Chain A
Amino acid sequence: QKEVEQDPGPLSVPEGAIVSLNCTYSNSAFQYFMWYRQYSRKGPELLMYTYSSGNKEDGRFTAQVDKSSKYISLFIRDSQPSDSATYLCAMIPDEKLTFGTGTRLTIIP
């Protein structure tokens, strides 16, 4: 079993919809949680970074962490075609980043 599980998709939603992306993890030692966005032929870029359980908002993006369930989510409100990308969750257990496999998201105009 992988330490971080992420549904690879693909996920297609109409423009303007709310998108929910999720990851589960098995190691309770994970402390820091991140979401990266990766466009085709580009490297990942950091979207959100959070430490504690609860919600963190940044514009149209909300990151949610539930440490008791070992579950993290990224919500995208008012989705735009420019949000079409692969979204990767990442966590730090022991000074190394561990990534999910990524979810490919397509926003349909």
Chain B
Amino acid sequence: KAGVTQTPRYLIKTRGQQVTLSCSPISGHRSVSWYQQTPGQGLQFLFEYFSETQRNKGNFPGRFSGRQFSNSRSEMNVSTLELGDSALYLCASSLAPASTDTQYFGPGTRLTVL
């Protein structure tokens, strides 16, 4: 069974631009969660989608948004990029909601904002 895939793996953007990251969960998984990982803050929860509905949201500004499609694939969008948005963005999928089931992580998208 294929694991969680994320595209692209690497991105370089400039301040003020916007970016869209994509996540394909493991087949059959309905929950997708997004995390931001930085050396200083570690892994921080962004949001979780389950069956196309946002189930939980972390403490990030409204510039960070996401959505989930009927096939469970998910996208994350960051608008008006700031230097501090440079990070590894990870998505994780699970069969059931993340709080009740094991999450499987993808390899991440490394975003660099110049």
A interface residues (Cβ-Cβ under 8 A, vs B): 6, 32, 41-46, 49, 88, 90, 92, 95-102
Size of B's binding interface in residues, CB under 8 A: 25
What are 20 sample pairs from A and B whose C-beta atoms fall under 8 A apart? A6-B42, A32-B99, A41-B107, A42-B107, A43-B4, A43-B107, A43-B108, A44-B43, A44-B105, A46-B102, A92-B99, A95-B97, A96-B48, A96-B56, A97-B33, A97-B45, A97-B103, A99-B35, A99-B44, A101-B41
Q: Check B41–A43 contact: CB distance below 8 A.
A: no
Q: Which residue from chain B places its CB closest to the CB of A45 in the assembled complex?
A: B105
Tell me, in angstroms, the Cα distance from A101 to B97 when the chains sit together: 23
* CB neighbours of A99 from chain B (8 A): 35, 42-44
Q: Please give me the residue from chain B that is nearest to A88 by CB atom.
A: B43
Spell out B's residues near A (CB within 8 Å): 4, 33, 35, 40-45, 48, 55-56, 58, 90, 92, 97-99, 102-108
The residue of chain A having its C-beta at the shortest distance from the C-beta of B91 within the complex is A43
B27–chain A nearest beta-carbon distance, Å = 17
Shortest distance from the beta carbon of B53 to any chain A beta carbon, whole Å: 14
- Choose among A44, A88, A92 the residue with the greatest number of B CB atoms under 10 Å from its CB: A44
A104 to chain B, nearest CB (A): 10
